[in-house]
Each structure stands twice: as C-alpha cells, then as structure tokens.
A = this chain, B = another copy of it.
Amino acid sequence: MYTAIGAAPIRAEDVLARVGDDADGAVLLFLGRVRREHEGRRVHGMRYDTYQAMAGAVLDAIAREAAERAGSDHIAVVHRTGELAVGEISVAIAVATPHRAEAYEASRYIIEQIKLRLPVWKHEHYTAGDSRWLEGAVPPGSAS
C-alpha cells in the first residue's frame, strides 16, 4: 500500500508500477484530471489546497479500508496539491487484485471517499480572470 499527497506532478505509469504481482489478474488505474470546462465556464486551471497534516492520515485510512474490502493491499493512491493546469492529473488510484470485481469496487470506493472525506479544497480559475471555491461535501461523522 502506498499513499501520498503533495505538489509533485503525478505520472500515471509511476503509480501503476507500484501495484500488482503475478497473483493479480486485474489492475485498475483511475486518473482524475482538471477539466477545461465547468458548469459552462472555461477553466484556466485549479489550485488544490489541503490540510496537509490531516490529509495524509485520511488518505491512509481510506486506502486501508479499501484494502480490507478488496482483500488486497496492492493499492497506490496519490493526490496532488497546488496549482494545476487543465489536463493535469489531480489524483491517481491504482488497485491490483486477483479478480476484477474487487479492483473495480476498491477503486470506486477510494475515489468516492476521497471526494467525501479528504480535506482538500479546489479554487477554480477561469479564463475570464476570476476564481472561486468549488462547493464540497460534508464528511460523514463530522456532524455536531
């Protein structure tokens, strides 16, 4: 299992290379990327802010939960922070399992939990020159 969150650009092949051995018949790689358009507006780029000291632990917890469900800890999750251009990879999730069903389930679990729980915030920059914070999710279990 490998998780990381930081400003270094993400290379898909590096994340992919972190998972899988000869017992794994299925490998799944998910890449999230900055889109050039959002809600009808032309996007110039995106800044990802994070609560670094907390985010690493949350990412670890998510990967551990996925590993338990999949019965495989052949999982690598990397999340990027800082300023990203359109088309750049913001998150990469690689999962390798003996059979495919577990890989799909674990991969989907990780990205959904990242969107729900990872303390990351997106400041979207538009070609028009303005920026705004994107709306997010309220993490479960955090309610008063």
Instruction: List the one stretch of A15-23, A71-79, A125-133 in contact with chain B.
Output: A15-23
In the complex, which of the residues B29, B34, B35, B108 contacts A98, with contact meaning CB atoms closer than 8 Å?
Answer: B35
Chain B positions within 8 Å of A27 at CB level: 29-31, 33
Copies in the complex: 2
Chain B positions within 8 Å of A12 at CB level: 13, 16, 29
A-B contacts besides A25-B32, A25-B34, 18 pairs, CB < 8 Å:
A12-B13, A12-B16, A12-B29, A16-B29, A22-B35, A22-B87, A24-B35, A25-B33, A25-B35, A26-B31, A27-B30, A28-B28, A28-B29, A28-B30, A29-B29, A30-B100, A35-B98, A104-B104
**A binding-site residues for B, Cβ under 8 Å:** 12-13, 16, 20-37, 86-87, 98, 100, 103-104, 107-108, 111
